[in-house]
Structure 1
Amino acid sequence: MSQSSPLVEQTIAAFREAYGHEPEVVAFAPGRVNLIGDHTDYNDGFALPCALQFGTVVAAAPLADQRIIARAVDFGAEQDELRIDAPIAPLGQGHWQNHVRGIAAGLPLFGLPQRGASLAISGDVPQGNGLSSSASLGVALGLALAALAGERRPDRQVLARVAQWSEHQYVGCACGLLDQTASAFGEQGSALLLDCRSLAVEPAPFPADTTILIVPSGVARGLVDSAYNERRMQCRQAAAHFSVESLRDLDEARLMAGQDGCDATIFRRARHVVTENARTLLAAAAMARGDLAELGRLMRASHASLRDDFEVSVAAVDALVDALNAAIGEGGGARMTGGGFGGCVVAVVAADRLANVERALSAHWQQAGQPAQAHFRGIPSAGARLLRG
Structure 2
Amino acid sequence: MSSPAQRAKKLFIRTFGTNADDCYQAPGRINLMGEHTDYNEGFVLPAAINFHVVIAAKKRDDGLFRAVTDIFPDEFIEWQFGLENEVNDDSDTLSHWSQYLKGFTATLAQSGLSISGMDVAIVSDVPVEQGFSSSSALEIAFGTAINDLHQLHLSPLAVAQLAQRGEFHHMKLTCGIKDHMISALAEEEQAVLIDCLDLDYDSISLPKELSLIIVHSGKYAEDIQHKYQTRKSECLEVAEHFGLDSLRHVELFQLEREKSNLDESLYKRARHVISENRRTQQAARALEMNNTRRLSQLMADSHRSLKDDFEISLPEIDLLVDIINNEIGDRGGVRLTGSGFGGSVVALVEHELTDDVVLAVEQEYYKKTGIEAQVYLCSATRGACRIDD
Fold equivalence (TM over 0.5):
yes
Q: Confirm whether residue 73 of structure 1 aligns to residue 74 of structure 2.
A: no
Matching residue of 1:149: 150
Following superposition, the deviation at residue 117 of structure 1 comes to: 1.2
- Say which is worse superposed, 25-34 or 81-90, in terms of deviation: 81-90
Measure the CA separation in 2 of the matches of 1:354 and 1:191: 20
Following superposition, the deviation at residue 170 of structure 1 comes to: 2.9
Q: Is the alpha carbon distance of 1:87 and 1:33 closer, same or farther for their aligned partners in structure 2, counting shifts above 3 Å?
A: closer
Query: Is the 1:130–1:221 contact (alpha carbons within 8 Å) kept by the matching residues of 2?
Result: no
Following superposition, the deviation at residue 322 of structure 1 comes to: 1.1
Q: Is the alpha carbon distance of 1:5 and 1:180 closer, same or farther for their aligned partners in structure 2, counting shifts above 3 Å?
A: farther
- Runs (4+) of structure 1 exceeding 6 A deviation are none
Matching residue of 1:8: 5
Matching residue of 1:291: 291
Which residue identity does 1:108 align to in structure 2? Answer: A
Q: Is the alpha carbon distance of 1:223 and 1:298 closer, same or farther for their aligned partners in structure 2, counting shifts above 3 Å?
A: farther
Identity across matched positions, percent? 34
Measure the CA separation in 1 of the matches of 2:307 and 2:387: 40
Among residues 7, 14, 19, which one is paired with 1:17 in the alignment?
14
Measure the CA separation in 1 of the matches of 2:379 and 2:112: 33
Query: Is the 2:358–2:375 contact (alpha carbons within 8 Å) kept by the matching residues of 1?
Result: no
Q: Is the alpha carbon distance of 1:243 and 1:85 closer, same or farther for their aligned partners in structure 2, counting shifts above 3 Å?
A: closer
Measure the CA separation in 2 of the matches of 1:221 and 1:8: 31
Query: Is the 1:35–1:50 contact (alpha carbons within 8 Å) kept by the matching residues of 2?
Result: yes
Q: Confirm whether residue 336 of structure 1 aligns to residue 306 of structure 2.
A: no
Unaligned 5+ segments in structure 2 are none
Query: Is the 1:55–1:136 contact (alpha carbons within 8 Å) kept by the matching residues of 2?
Result: yes
Query: Is the 1:115–1:148 contact (alpha carbons within 8 Å) kept by the matching residues of 2?
Result: no
Corresponding pairs, count: 385
Measure the CA separation in 2 of the matches of 1:67 and 1:86: 10
Query: Is the 2:106–2:170 contact (alpha carbons within 8 Å) kept by the matching residues of 1?
Result: no
Report the RMSD for the aligned CA atoms in angstroms.
Answer: 1.9
Q: Is the alpha carbon distance of 1:11 and 1:320 closer, same or farther for their aligned partners in structure 2, counting shifts above 3 Å?
A: same
Among residues 29, 32, 56, which one is paired with 1:32 in the alignment?
29
Measure the CA separation in 1 of the matches of 2:223 and 2:177: 15
Measure the CA separation in 2 of the matches of 1:168 and 1:223: 17
1:293-372 alignment runs, 5 A limit: 293-372=293-372
Residues 166-187 of structure 1: per-residue CA shift (max 9 Å, x gap): 1112333211111001111111
- Say which is worse superposed, 93-102 or 33-42, in terms of deviation: 93-102
- Say which is worse superposed, 67-76 or 366-375, in terms of deviation: 366-375
Following superposition, the deviation at residue 119 of structure 1 comes to: 1.1
Which residue identity does 2:155 align to in structure 1? Answer: D
Query: Is the 1:30–1:136 contact (alpha carbons within 8 Å) kept by the matching residues of 2?
Result: yes
Query: Is the 1:138–1:163 contact (alpha carbons within 8 Å) kept by the matching residues of 2?
Result: yes
Q: Is the alpha carbon distance of 1:136 and 1:150 closer, same or farther for their aligned partners in structure 2, counting shifts above 3 Å?
A: same
Measure the CA separation in 2 of the matches of 1:81 and 1:215: 36
Query: Is the 2:34–2:276 contact (alpha carbons within 8 Å) kept by the matching residues of 1?
Result: yes
Matching residue of 1:115: 116
Query: Is the 1:107–1:113 contact (alpha carbons within 8 Å) kept by the matching residues of 2?
Result: yes
Measure the CA separation in 1 of the matches of 2:60 and 2:175: 32
Which residue identity does 2:142 align to in structure 1? Answer: L
Instruction: For residue 260 of structure 1, give the secondary structure of its aligned residue in structure 2.
Output: helix
Measure the CA separation in 2 of the matches of 1:220 and 1:5: 31
Query: Is the 2:366–2:373 contact (alpha carbons within 8 Å) kept by the matching residues of 1?
Result: no
Measure the CA separation in 2 of the matches of 1:112 and 1:308: 46
Which residue identity does 1:173 align to in structure 2? Answer: L
- Say which is worse superposed, 138-147 or 80-89, in terms of deviation: 80-89
Following superposition, the deviation at residue 200 of structure 1 comes to: 1.1
Matching residue of 2:127: 126
Following superposition, the deviation at residue 308 of structure 1 comes to: 1.3
What TM-score comes out, normalization by structure 2 length?
A: 0.94
Measure the CA separation in 2 of the matches of 1:86 and 1:372: 44
